Chain A
Amino acid sequence: MNRRSFFYRISRTLALITLAALPYALSRLLVPGSSQAKPKHDPRINHHKLRPPGALADEDDFRTACIGCSLCGEICPPACIQFYHRDGGGSANTPYILPPDKGCILCGKCMEVCPTSALTITASQAVTMGVAQIDRLACYPWVDRGVCGACASICPLGERAIGFEFANMYRPVIKSGCVGCGLCVEVCPHPSLPIRIIPLSPTTTLHAG
Chain B
Amino acid sequence: MAQTSKPKSSRQTPKSTKQTKPDSKATHWRPSLMLRHLNKLRWLSLSVVFLMLILLPLLSIYQNYVAAHAYNHLASSEKLLYDTMEALTSPFTSDPEHDLDIIKGTTWSGQLFGLKLSDPLAVVNQIAAGLEFYWPFMLTALIPVLLTLLLGRFFCGWICPATLIYELNSNLGIWLEKLGLRISHRRFDKRFKYGVLAVGLILSTVSGTVLMASIYPPAVIGRELYFSIALGGFGGGTVFFVITLLFDLLVAKRGFCRYVCPGGALYSLLGRYRLLRIQRVVENCNDCGKCNAVCEFDLTPMRDNFGQECNNCSACIAACPKEAMTFVITIQDQPEQGVGHHSRHYRKAHHKTNTLDTDDQS
Contacts and interface: CB of A to CB of B under 8 A. Distances in A.
A19 B250 contact: yes
Nearest to B131: A64
Contacts of A27: 234, 236, 238-239
Main secondary structure of the interface of B (DSSP, over half): helix
B109 A67 contact: yes
Interface residues of B, number: 53
A63 B110 contact: no
A90 B137 CA distance: 22
B223 A68 contact: yes
Contact of B243 (A23, A67, A70, A71): A23
B210 A26 contact: no
Interface string A149-161: 0000000000000
A115 interface: yes
B290 to A, nearest CB: 32
B212 to A, nearest CB: 9
Interface in A86-124: 86, 90, 92-93, 109, 113, 115-117
B105 A69 contact: yes
Interface in A165-202: none
A30 B242 contact: no
Given A79-B230, A117-B134, A71 B104 contact: yes
B134 A74 contact: no
Contacts of A67: 108-109, 118, 122, 125-126, 210, 213
B214 A92 contact: yes
Contacts of B122: 67, 69
B232 A32 contact: yes
Contact of B246 (A23, A32, A64, A70): A23
A74 B235 CA distance: 15
A44 to B, nearest CB: 16
A70 B236 contact: no
A83 B228 CA distance: 12
Interface stretch (B6-14, B24-32, B60-68, B257-265): B60-68
A13 B281 CA distance: 47
B167 interface: no
B57 A74 contact: yes
Given A26-B242, A71-B104, A116-B126, A92 B236 contact: yes
Nearest to A24: B239
A69 B60 contact: no
A42 interface: no
Interface in A10-43: 16, 19-20, 22-24, 26-27, 30-33
B255 to A, nearest CB: 15
Interface string B103-132: 011101111000010100010011001100
A82 B101 CA distance: 18
11 contacts: A19-B246, A30-B228, A30-B234, A64-B126, A67-B126, A69-B108, A69-B122, A77-B67, A92-B214, A113-B111, A116-B134
The 3 closest A-B pairs by CB, nearest first: A69-B109, A68-B213, A77-B67
Given A31-B234, A33-B233, 14 more contacts: A20-B243, A20-B246, A30-B234, A64-B130, A64-B208, A69-B110, A69-B122, A71-B111, A75-B60, A75-B104, A83-B231, A90-B209, A115-B140, A116-B126
